[in-house]
Amino acid sequence: MNDDQKYILAIDQGTTSTRAIVFDHAGQIVASGQREHEQIFPKAGWVEHDAAEIWRNTRSVVGDALVGAEINRHQLAAVGITNQRETAVVWDRTTGEPVYNAIVWQDTRTQKICDELAGDEGAEKYKERVGLPLATYFSGPKVKWILDNVEGAREKAEKGDLLFGNTDSWLVWNMTGGKDGGVHVTDVTNASRTMLMNIDTLDWNEDIAGDMGIPLSMLPEIRSSSEVYGTGRKQGLLIDTPIAGILGDQQAATFGQACFEVGQAKNTYGTGNFMLINTGEELVRSENGLLTTVAYKIGDNKPIYALEGSIAVTGSLVQWVRDNLGLISDAPEIEDLAKKVDDNGGCYIVPAFSGLFAPYWKSDARGAIVGLTRYINKNHIARAALESTAFQSRDVLDAMNADSGVELSELKVDGGMVKNETLMQFQADILGVPVVRPQVIETTALGAAYAAGIAVGFWDGEQDVIDNWAEDKRWEPTMDEATRERYLRLWKKAVERTYDWVDEDVNELYG
Ligand code: ADP
C-alpha cells in the first residue's frame, strides 16, 4: 500500500463488542478488528460491563485493524469514537481505576431512584430542561446509584477525585494519557443522554445534578462532535494521532446515513430499533412519546437536533425465537420460515418483554401472542415475530410525523436485521413509503469516522458524506392503503392486550 495514503480509524464501542474499523477517503471499509466483552448480570434487571476490559479490548482491536489494513499510525489522519450511550462509568482520576463496573443502558436497578426523583411531579419533571422523561435508561440516576452504594464513593466524589463518563469519555481519557494528563471530555450527543444537560444551552444543569447529588467536578467538559479533543498518548499505538470525533451510536448512524436535511430519518435494526429524524436547528419537544436529543454539532456550528423513537425489543425477539423457543438455529433462518406463509394467519406478537418503550412508555406491559388458533404454526409465529419489528417502527414513525409535522418520504435503514428481505418488504408495505438500504451498513462506525475526518480536513464537510453515500437496495410499498389500515388496526388491538399486566401477583409469584 502507498505509505502516503491517509485513512480514518473509527472505534465503535458497542453494547456487546468493541470494533475498530479503518475507512478510506471514499468511506469504504479497509480493515477491522472486533472483540466481545463479558455481559455481567449480577441480579435480575442488572446489566454491567467491566470498563477495564473494554479499554483492553479497544487497544487490541485498534492493533488488529491497523495490522489488517497494513498501515502505520502516520497514515491515520484522525480517530473517531462512537459508543453505547447512557452506560455509566465512574473512575478514580488518580489511580485510573473504575470504582464500580459500568452500569449499562439496559439496567433497571434505578427504578426506585427515578420514582423518588419524580415525586409528585412525575416522570416529566425534567423533560422541559433535558428533553427526556425520568427513566432508568439514562446515565444520571446510574451515577447516583454508584455514589449511594459504593463504599467511600461519595466522599471521594465530593473531594473531586472521581470522574464520570459514558464509554466515549472513558476511552478518550485513557487514550490521551489517563491519570497522566488524559482529557476528560464528552460530546453533545452523549451528554444529551445523561439527563444532566440543558437541551437548549448544551451546559450541565446544576439543579438536576444537585437533585441527584452528583458533584459538577465529576462531569466531563461538553464539546462538539467534531473537533480535536487531544492526541494519542505516547505509550500507545496511536501516539500523537488526533482524536477528533465523538458521536453516540445512534447519532453516529444518523450522520453516517447522511441525514442532514430536516425531515430525513434513519432506522437502525439491531437488538432494539432506534429511529431518529433530523429536526434541524429547531428543538422539537415531543408530545407523542419521543425523546428530544442532539443529533450532532460540527465544531463551532449550531447544534442540529433530532427526535428519537427507541424500541426495546426487535432483533432480540429473533434471538428469543432462536434461544427460548428453539424454532430456528440462527437468526437468518427466521426468514426461511416466514417465507413459507403468505401472512401471519391472524397471529400477532407484541414483544413487551420489559414493558413498551416509544411511543407507549408502559412499564407494566408484558409480551403477548394473540390471535392463536389451531391453524397457527411455527411459520406464522416466525412471520409475526418479524412483522412486530415493522409494526413497532410504524408506531414510532406516526409519532414522528405528528411531532415534527413533516411527512417522511422514505426511510433509510441499517443494522443487522436489514439483511432480512422479507422484513424490509413488509416494512415498506406497512409504512407506505420506500425503505432504502445503503451499501455500507456499518453506518455507526462510518458516522464517527466522518465526524473525525471533517474536523481535520480529511473530508470537507457534509457534502462529502452525501457524495460517498450509495444505495444498495430499495423496497417500494406494494400493499394497498385499505389492507394496510386493517393490519394496523389489528396490531393496535394486540398492543392494547399487553397493558396493565404487571401487578402484585405477577411480582410476588414471578418477580
Ligand atoms: P447490535 O448492534 O444491537 O448488537 P446488530 O446490528 O449486529 O445488533 O444486529 C443483530 C440483531 O439482528 C440480532 O438481534 C439478531 O437476532 C438480528 N438479526 C441478524 N440477522 C438477522 C436476519 N437475517 N433476520 C432477522 N434478524 C436478524
Which ligand 1 atom is the nearest neighbour of the CA of 322? 16
Q: How far is the CA of 120 from the centre of ligand 1 (A)?
A: 40
Is residue 389 within 8 Å of 273, Cβ to Cβ? yes
Q: What is the pLDDT of residues 285-328, one digit of tens each?
A: 888 889 999 999 999 999 999 999 999 899 999 999 999 999 99
Which ligand 1 atom is the nearest neighbour of the CA of 386? 25
Considering the entire predicted model, what is its pTM? 0.90
Q: How far is the CA of 418 from the centre of ligand 1 (A)?
A: 8
Starting at the edge strand that comes first in sequence, how are the strands of the sheet with 471-475 ordered? 291-296, 304-311, 273-280, 265-269, 411-414, 435-438, 471-475
Instruction: Specify binding-site residues for glycerol.
Output: 85-86, 137, 249-250
| Collapsed DSSP state (helix, strand, coil) of residue 488 | helix
Instruction: For residues 298 and 227, give the distance between their C-alpha atoms in angstroms, rounded to a whole number.
Output: 7
Q: How far is the CA of 223 from the centre of ligand 1 (A)?
A: 32
Specify the residue with its C-alpha closest to ligand 1, atom 2: 270
Which pLDDT does position 190 carry in this prediction? Answer: 98
| Collapsed DSSP state (helix, strand, coil) of residue 292 | strand
Is residue 122 within 8 Å of 149, Cβ to Cβ? no
Cross-strand partners of 186: 222
Peptide bond into 141 cis (omega under 30): no
Which ligand 1 atom is the nearest neighbour of the CA of 415? 6
Which ligand 1 atom is the nearest neighbour of the CA of 16? 4
Instruction: For residues 165 and 89, give the distance between their C-alpha atoms in angstroms, rounded to a whole number.
Output: 5
Q: How far is the CA of 273 from the centre of ligand 1 (A)?
A: 10
Is residue 368 within 8 Å of 494, Cβ to Cβ? yes
Q: How far is the CA of 416 from the centre of ligand 1 (A)?
A: 4
Which pLDDT does position 109 carry in this prediction? Answer: 87
Q: What is the pLDDT of residues 356-388, one digit of tens each?
A: 888 888 878 889 999 999 999 999 999 999 999
Residuewise pLDDT in 10s, the chain (511 residues): 456 789 999 999 998 899 999 999 999 999 999 998 998 888 877 889 999 999 999 999 999 999 999 998 899 999 999 999 999 999 999 999 999 999 999 888 898 899 899 999 988 899 999 999 888 889 999 999 999 999 999 999 999 999 999 999 999 999 999 999 999 999 999 999 999 999 999 999 999 999 999 999 999 999 999 999 999 999 899 999 999 999 999 999 999 999 999 888 999 998 899 999 999 998 998 888 899 999 999 999 999 999 999 998 999 999 999 999 999 999 999 999 999 999 999 999 999 988 888 888 887 888 999 999 999 999 999 999 999 999 999 999 999 888 888 778 889 999 989 999 999 999 999 999 999 999 988 899 999 999 999 999 999 999 999 999 999 999 999 999 999 999 999 999 999 999 999 888 887 888 6
Kindly compute the dihedral angle of the four CA atoms of residues 391, 396, 397, 399, in this order, to the nearest 10 degrees.
Answer: 130
Which amino acid, 143? Answer: V
Which ligand 1 atom is the nearest neighbour of the CA of 17? 4
Instruction: For residues 337 and 237, give the distance between their C-alpha atoms in angstroms, rounded to a whole number.
Output: 47
Mutational test site, ligand 1, from 249, 320, 324, 417, max ligand atoms within 8 Å of CB: 417
Pocket of ligand 1 (CB under 6 A): 14, 16, 270-271, 315-316, 318-319, 331-332, 334-335, 415-417, 419-420
